[in-house]
Structures are given as C-alpha cells and as structure tokens.
C-alpha cells in the first residue's frame, strides 16, 4: 500500500526525436513537483505555457504543463503532464529533476495499473490499452479501441448479471426448499441456464476472432526443394526475403516472417526443402522443419502442378490432422492450368496457383480466413486475448454442468456451486477475481510511461 502512495514519473512518448515529448507525473506529489519545476501553481485542466527550470533555476526548456487533479485523470490520482520539445536529453533531465524533487521512476505499465487499482478501468480495458499501442493492423486497432471503450466489459457484465440473478433464485431454493413462490420449476431453470450458455457462446465467437487479430496464426511452409516455397513466401510478404534460386536445397535454414494477410498477423516459417539427404546441414534443416510443422497451427505443403508425386514429402510430414494441412499445386503457369480450390471430405484442401505470377494467391487468403473462422469479421469485434477465450470456454463448461444437474433438481447445491464457479471464471476476465501474479504478468508487458 505504501508504494501506491509514491509519485511516479516517466517519459510517455516514444524514444527518439520528435516535435513534442511528454513527461508524466502521477501521485500525491505530482502537483508539488510540477510547481518546483515550472515555478507556477497550475490550474486544473489548463494548458499553461511555462518555463521548465532545474534546481539551480537554470532553464531546461519551455513548453506546456497540464494538471489533472484526482480523481479525473488517467490514473485516478493527481497527474501532471509536462510537454517539452521531443529531445531525449531534455526529457531525461525533466525526469531526473522530478526524481530529485521526490518522484520515483515508473515501472512498465504502472500508470495503467494504477488506473485499474483505482477503479478507473477494468482489466479488459487495461489490456486493451497495451493492445491498442501494439496493434499491427487497422482492424486490430479498431477492436482494441472498442474493448478500451468498455464494450467487451459491458457485455460480460450483462452475462454476469444473468448468472447472479439465477444464483439468487437458486439460493432461495436452498434456503427455503418448501416454499415455491418465485422459484422457477427445474425445467425453467435449465432453460434459463441454456440461454446464458447461448449468450456466452456468442461472445466467445467474437472473442476468438479478436484473439486471432491480436495473436495471429503460425504457418509452416513445407515441400521438396525447388517447388517454389521461397517464391510463395516472398509473394505473401510482398518483398524479397528468402533467396530464390534454381539450385535445390538453397533454403537450408528456416526463414521466419511476420506478415499481414487481410489484417491477420501471420507468422510464417519457410523450412528447408523436405528431402531425404546425406548432407548433415540439410538433414538438420529437415529435422527442424518437421518439429516446426508439429507445433504450427497450419501446414502448407507445396508441390509442383503436373509433376509426378513421389509421395516422399508426405511420408516425411508429422502425423497431423489433415484439417490443418493445405496442399498447394504451384507453377500452374507452366502447365496452362487455371487456378482453383478443391475440397474433399477427409482430405486436405488443395489449391492450384502460381507463386510467380500471383494467379490464385487470393484463394490462399480465403482458405486461411475460413480456417481461422474470420471470413466475416463483424463490426462489433472487440480485442480479446487467449486468456479471455480460455475463461469463456471454462464458464461455458461450468454452466453446461449446471444445466445438466438442473434438469432433475436432486442436488440444487451442486447446481449453485457450478454457477458460482462460472461467475468466478467470468470475473477473472474483468479482474474481479484475479491472482496477483497474473496481474504482475499483465502489466509487466506494457511499455514504460503507459
Ligand atoms: P524453394 O526451393 O521451394 O524455396 O523454391 P524457390 O522459391 O527458390 O523457387 C525455385 C524456382 O522455381 C525459382 O526459379 C522460381 O522462380 C521458380 N518458381 C517458383 N514459383 C513458380 C511459379 O509459380 N511458376 C514458375 N514458372 N516458376 C516458379
């Protein structure tokens, strides 16, 4: 608790040169420290143009000082922003001066952590701040903004209210078993729980899409040497990354790329050509390719259109679900074959295309979005993380248990317990019930100054 009373300081703008740089102070002494540096008594929410002075009254810079009194500030505490010129040296001096006057350097994410601890935002919104700053696509930024504005939180709150209302009914049943006034018959209770599960399912679907936008997908490209893996990767990335040559086995090591395909971050690994070989370096490459394929979300196996399929690359594939494998027949331009998709029950999807000319590449993007369940991204998308998806899945499981138990109400206390657990699972998302170590982990990933 003592630590919470500290006044913290940090540079809030990115490292490097810029027109403006902002140093932010938060805590009970923020205003006092700002007075020492600026020599003025700042009015609330007013942009003062002033001089910044060091402790010997020497001029550091001049700029703006803005005071946001508690609780109407980002952190909920007294906050002062000093807007100086965007020079690292000047901003460092302002931070050092603030420290001499009693502030301490903020930890990463500490402003947002204080906003959370002071009840200004919940955990979903705090995470959305980091996601907004780190967003790599327009969709990701928009959905993080929506989470930050509280849209995800308010839908969760609605669900929590439903669960709580049902728990209240159930508790009544436990306390006064012989009274039936206002208590739902069991079939009605399981219907209501079923409705809750349905509503949770709708949110889960959006959360899954949001988490794909944030976390992306791991794809491994496999295939014998010279089938066009590097060319395909270059075409996806839209630039020259891998070495493209006619000599089989050129891509000895793995090349990792992060690219955006229709707003989805895709982490692609181009592997050494899959081929039985005596060359020790290449053998190691093949071994790594197989390991990468095992842990990948999706596998793309490249072959050359019209070439006899020796089947050797398939035998070298890890035992994997055909559902996560796509077979691409490349170089259709050489055979004059049209591009196209083929889907057969129980077999990997096949796409014919040309990595060199680009024909049929859009079919790949279509397949990818289908696989990820993001073909139709709704307008109501919000940013979500794997931990949110996991908590929603857990709550659905617990409610399903409750529904089953509620279908014949021999043990209402067990139904009540499952409902309580579902409430705790949802509460973990917004931060109502959350272990301290998880909190530490979430805020440690922020940048300093946020
Ligand atoms: P990798 O060993 O699988 O990575 O294959 P590369 O990407 O290095 O390609 C081997 C050769 O095939 C290069 O000369 C490429 O230009 C050529 N190539 C790749 N894709 C196509 C294609 O779609 N059509 C044609 N005609 N040539 C291609």
With a 6 Å cutoff on the Cβ, whether 250 touches ligand 1 is yes
pLDDT at 324: 86
pLDDT at 2 over 50: no
Higher pLDDT, 24 or 432: 24
Contact (Cβ atoms closer than 8 angstroms) between residue 351 and residue 340: yes
Q: Where are the beta strands (DSSP E) in 164-248?
A: 217-223
Distance 227 CA to ligand 1 centre (A): 6
| pTM greater than 0.85 | no
With a 6 Å cutoff on the Cβ, whether 230 touches ligand 1 is yes
In the chain, what are the helix, strand and coil shares in percent, each to the nearest 5? 45, 20, 35
Higher pLDDT, 126 or 308: 126
**Number of neighbouring beta carbons within 10 Å of residue 90:** 17
Ligand 1 atom showing the smallest separation from residue 231 Cα:
7
- pLDDT tens column, 111-150: 999 999 999 999 999 999 988 988 888 888 888 888 898 8
Ligand 1 atom showing the smallest separation from residue 250 Cα:
2
Ligand 1 atom showing the smallest separation from residue 244 Cα:
8
Distance 282 CA to ligand 1 centre (A): 19
- Assign 270 a pLDDT band (cuts: 50, 70, 90): confident
Distance 246 CA to ligand 1 centre (A): 7
Distance 356 CA to ligand 1 centre (A): 7
Nearest C-alpha neighbor of 91 from the set 179, 6, 175, 11: 11
Rounded CA-CA distance 107/99 in Å is 14
Distance 313 CA to ligand 1 centre (A): 17
Distance linking the first and last C-alpha atoms of the chain: 20
- DSSP summary character for residue 5: G
If you take atom 24 of ligand 1, which residue's CA is the nearest one? 331
Q: Cα torsion for 314, 320, 325, 329, to the nearest 10°?
A: 0
Q: Is 25 helix (H, G, I), strand (E, B) or coil?
A: strand
Rounded CA-CA distance 233/347 in Å is 24
**DSSP per residue, 86-154:** E-HHHHHHHHHHHHHTT-EEPPTTHHHHHHHHTTSS-HHHHHHHHHHHH--SHHHHHHHHHHHTTHHHH
Ligand 1 pocket test, candidate residues 222, 244, 329, 357, most atoms within 8 A of CB: 244
Contact (Cβ atoms closer than 8 angstroms) between residue 361 and residue 355: yes
Rounded CA-CA distance 81/69 in Å is 11
């Amino acid at each position: 608790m003592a630590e919470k009373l500290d006044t913290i300081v940090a540079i809030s703008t990115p490292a490097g040169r810029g027109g403006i740089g902002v140093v932010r102070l938060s805590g009970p002494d923020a205003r006092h420290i700002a007075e020492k540096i600026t020599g003025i008594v700042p009015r609330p929410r007013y942009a003062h143009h002033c001089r910044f002075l060091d402790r010997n009254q020497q001029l550091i810079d001049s700029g703006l000082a803005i005071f946001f009194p508690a609780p109407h500030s980002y952190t909920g505490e007294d906050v002062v922003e000093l807007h100086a010129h965007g020079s690292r040296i000047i901003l460092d001096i302002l931070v050092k001066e603030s420290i001499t006057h009693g502030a301490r350097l903020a930890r990463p994410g500490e402003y947002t952590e204080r906003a959370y601890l002071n009840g200004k935002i919940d955990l979903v919104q705090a995470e959305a701040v980091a996601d907004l700053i780190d967003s790599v696509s327009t969709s990701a930024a928009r959905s993080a903004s929506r989470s930050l504005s509280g849209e995800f939180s308010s839908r969760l709150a609605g669900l929590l209210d439903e669960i709580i209302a049902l728990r209240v009914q159930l508790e009544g049943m436990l306390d006064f078993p012989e009274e039936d006034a206002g208590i739902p018959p069991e079939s009605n209770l399981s219907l209501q729980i079923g409705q809750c599960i349905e509503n949770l399912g709708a949110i889960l679907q959006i959360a899954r899409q949001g988490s794909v936008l944030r976390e992306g997908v791991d794809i491994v490209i496999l295939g014998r040497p010279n089938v066009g893996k590097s060319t395909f990767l270059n075409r996806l990335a839209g630039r020259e990354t891998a070495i493209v040559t006619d000599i089989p086995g050129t891509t000895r090591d793995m090349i990792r790329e992060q690219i955006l395909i229709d707003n989805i971050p895709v982490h692609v690994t181009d592997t050494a050509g899959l081929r039985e070989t005596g060359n020790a370096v290449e053998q190691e490459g093949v071994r790594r390719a197989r390991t990468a394929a095992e842990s990948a979300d999706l596998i793309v196996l490249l072959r050359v259109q019209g070439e006899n399929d020796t089947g050797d690359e398939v035998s070298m594939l890890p035992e994997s679900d055909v559902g996560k494998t796509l077979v691409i027949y490349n170089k259709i331009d050489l055979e004059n074959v049209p591009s196209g998709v083929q889907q057969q029950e129980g077999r990997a999807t096949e796409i014919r295309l040309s990595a060199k000319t680009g024909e049929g590449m859009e079919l790949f993007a279509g397949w990818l979005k289908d696989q990820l369940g993001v073909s139709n991204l709704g307008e109501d998308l919000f940013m979500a993380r794997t931990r949110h998806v996991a908590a929603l899945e857990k709550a659905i499981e617990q409610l399903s248990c409750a529904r089953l138990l509620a279908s014949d109400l021999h043990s209402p206390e067990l139904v009540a317990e499952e409902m309580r657990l579902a409430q705790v699972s949802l509460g973990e998302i917004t931060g109502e019930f959350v272990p301290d170590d998880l909190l530490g982990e979430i805020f440690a990933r922020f940048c300093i100054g946020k």
